[in-house]
């Protein structure tokens, strides 16, 4: 089943101040929203998680890793992530049990989406968790993939579009990992990659607006999750066009 999250609704109802900055939940629960005593979802099933992280100027996130595959998508501000310069729109993917960082916010701060297709209990910081990471290396590969920054199209550029364009910005791998960017004129539609080739997809509206069949018009920074057993997503641009990023997770063996 396709899941959508309206950025305006999420920001108005789900934005919370935490010790790690402002967090806005979009899809699924995370360690900040799981109620006390509530059992987390199983980690061997598809469970979409999407939330927006907002960091102040100069904020530092120490190197760490997660037990779930993860995309991070910078949508405002900039800085550094490890050895990479980040800005709007930069896409950063890491396999589960792959350490990355530090993340350092620039003078204007930085905001990014964290996107996962399975439950994750939270960051494991280095160097305290180095031994756990070493032990996991026998079972998990280390992989990192990046692209951008790719400045989103302005309203003027969106209105000037005359045809749909689409291209891979992270080339698809044998296990289905891949990222694509689409620009779509007002009222036109695009069909995404077949979700069965991967482990689920997140779509982000980088500029403009868009909708899925039967859904309401989604504004800037809204997102859509497409499960591996869904049909390929059909995304229709709103009245000013749309700049879209589709991020697909790799396939994983699940019990």
Domains in the chain, please, with CATH?
7-147 (2.60.120.10), 155-248 (2.60.120.10)
Q: State the SS3 of the chain.
A: CCEEECHHHHHHHHEEEECCEEEEEEECCCCCCCCCCCCCCCCCCCCCEEEEEEECCCCEECCEECCCCEEEEEEEEEEEECCEEECCCEEEEECCCCCECCEEEEEEEEEEEEEECCCCCCCEECCCCHHHHHHHCCCCCCCEEEECCCCCCCHHHHHCCCCCEEEEEECCCCCCCEEEEEEECCCCEEECCCHHHCCCEEEEEEEEEEECCCCCCECCCCEEEECCCCCCCEEEEEEEEEEEEEEECCCCCCC
Q: Which residues pair with 94 in a beta bridge?
A: 70, 144
CB 144 within 8 A of CB 93: yes
Q: Alpha carbon of 106 to those of 24, 58, 115: distances in Å?
A: 21, 6, 22
Total number of residues shown for the chain: 255
What angle is formed at CA 36 by the lines to CA 32 and CA 37, rounded to 5 degrees?
130
> What φ, ψ does residue 159 adopt, rounded to 5°?
-65, -25
pLDDT of 253:
59
- Paired strand residues for 226: 201
Q: Give the distance, in angstroms, between the CA of residue 89 and the centroid of all CA atoms in the same chain.
A: 11
For 7, other C-beta atoms within 10 Å of its C-beta total: 19
Count of Cβ atoms closer than 10 Å to residue 231 Cβ: 13
Q: How far apart are CA 150 and CA 147, in angstroms?
A: 8
The ranges of the chain with pLDDT < 50 are: 254-255
**The tokens of 236 are what?**
């229709």
pLDDT at residue number 91: 97
- Provide the whole-model pTM: 0.93
Q: What pLDDT score was predicted for residue 30?
A: 81
- The pLDDT, as a whole number, for residue 18 is 84
Contact at 8 Å (CB) between 70 and 38? no
Radius of gyration of the chain (CA): 17
The Cα 207–Cα 153 span in angstroms is: 6
pLDDT of residue 179: 98
What's the pLDDT score for residue 255? Answer: 39
């Amino acid at each position: 089943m396709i899941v959508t999250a309206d950025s305006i609704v999420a920001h108005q109802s789900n934005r919370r101040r935490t010790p790690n900055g402002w967090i806005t939940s979009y899809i699924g629960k995370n360690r900040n929203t799981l109620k006390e005593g509530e059992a987390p979802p199983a980690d061997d099933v598809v469970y979409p998680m999407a939330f927006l992280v907002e960091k102040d100027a100069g904020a530092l996130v120490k190197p760490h890793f997660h037990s779930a595959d993860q995309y991070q998508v910078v949508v405002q501000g900039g800085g550094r992530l490890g050895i990479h310069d980040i800005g709007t729109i930069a896409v950063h993917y890491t396999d589960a049990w792959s350490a990355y960082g530090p993340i350092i916010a620039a003078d204007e701060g930085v905001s990014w989406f964290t996107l996962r297709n399975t439950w994750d209990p939270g960051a494991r910081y280095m160097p305290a968790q180095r031994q756990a990471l070493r032990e996991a290396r026998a079972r998990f590969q280390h992989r990192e993939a990046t692209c951008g920054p790719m400045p989103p199209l302005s309203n003027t550029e969106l209105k000037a579009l005359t045809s749909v364009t689409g291209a891979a910005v992270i080339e698809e791998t044998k296990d289905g990992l891949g990222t694509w960017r689409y620009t779509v004129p007002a009222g036109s539609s695009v069909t995404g990659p077949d979700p069965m080739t991967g482990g689920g997809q997140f779509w982000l509206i980088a500029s403009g607006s868009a909708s899925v069949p039967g859904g309401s018009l989604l504004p800037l920074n809204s997102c859509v999750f497409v499960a591996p057993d869904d049909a390929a997503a059909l995304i229709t641009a709103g009245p000013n066009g749309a700049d879209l990023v589709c991020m697909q997770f790799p396939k994983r063996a699940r019990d």
